[in-house]
Amino acid sequence: MVNRGRLVSAFLRLTGIDAESCEEAELAAELTHRLRALGLTVSRDAAGNLYGFLPGTTDGAPCLFTAHMDTVRPGKGKRAVLSPDGTIRSDGSTVLGADDVSGLVSILEALTMIREKALPHPPLEVLFTAAEEPYSRGCASFDFSNLRSRMAYVLDLTGPVGTAAVAAPSILSVEVTVHGRAAHAGFAPEDGVNALTIAARALAALDAGRTAPDTTVNFGLIAGGGGKNIVPAEVSIRGEIRSLRHNTAIAQGERIRRQFQREAQPLGGRAEVTVTEELRAYRIPEASPTVLRFRRAVEELGYGPARLVTTFGGSDNNRLAAHGVQGIVTACAMENVHTTEEYTTVMELERSAALTLRLMTMEG
């Protein structure tokens, strides 16, 4: 039912616009023009998020559809290449940008079909967010009092269309600074307090990786020292914690804090540990109207049965859930995201747009 040529043309056009995180202005202008042409009232907030509203032609409950505008790096100078078999990739020097242009064009095509065919629909809200990739920071600044919807579909998941994530983790950032005391490593090492030794002992005592089936801990960045012949006076470490149980994530952060402080004190150093909540875990009940509607749409289109999964990635849906909106994250035709091997296919783009259209127009 969707227009394949128009859908692919929109995808190629939008992926060709550079939109790395916090640099979405050009893409936002293009999307604003397209949404207004489809009859939506559109506004852009100070964080760069685009909000659009289309009044309903039925008395159904309002429904929100969202996707993000930004891409990860390398995302400048993207050039999509359409192969004869329907696969679309970048030229290999950048990401493709299917994450999340595939979501953007699915929503745009569904709205275009509604306008062309005068299809009945409830009130529809659209939110195209900025800076989603860095822990959904754009959406964090959105004024949620503007939303009418308590039900949402966030188009931002890999996997076959018909898949949706109903649960996602809390994500905590961990920043550790270990303070020691510098000294000449040859003449007077005993006068120093080796910050690296403190850090190494703490890290060796801490579990990392998958610490439980639903929890991960990672230390990914370390820096410090002033020279190979100087006892290092300071070491900084950066990491993150993810858990489907928020309380478990918090407990892991406290465990890290205590361990670094425990190792620092006997050696005469000190450790500063900052744990910041980036996103909070959620789980949407499978009996919720959002999920039931999704299941029915997938089955009616012949894509079913719907596949409900848990993801260890964060998204704008974490923000929606924190504000009382029951959303799920739907697969929307993107694979190998966050790499230069990212790709999509014309067939999956069509399926994503068709599913979005069904979700926008179905009764109940």
Catalytic positions are: 70, 132
Cα angle for residues 294, 299, 301 (degrees, 5° grid): 100
Largest CA distance in the chain: 83
Q: How many residues are listed for the chain in this entry?
A: 364
Long-range contacts, stretch 2-7, CB < 8 angstroms, 24+ apart: 2/109, 2/110, 2/113, 2/350, 2/353, 2/354, 2/357, 3/109, 3/112, 3/113, 4/346, 4/350, 6/109, 6/112, 7/105, 7/109, 7/346, 7/349, 7/350, 7/353
- Residue 257's CB is within 10 A of a number of other CB atoms, namely 17
Task: Round to whole Å and give the CA distance between 272 and 280.
Answer: 23
Q: DSSP 3-state assignment of 51?
A: strand
Which residues of 120-233 form beta strands (DSSP E)? 124-129, 151-157, 163-168, 170-179, 209-212, 215-224
Burial class of residue 57 (count of CB atoms within 10 Å of its CB; 0-12, 13-18, 19+): middle
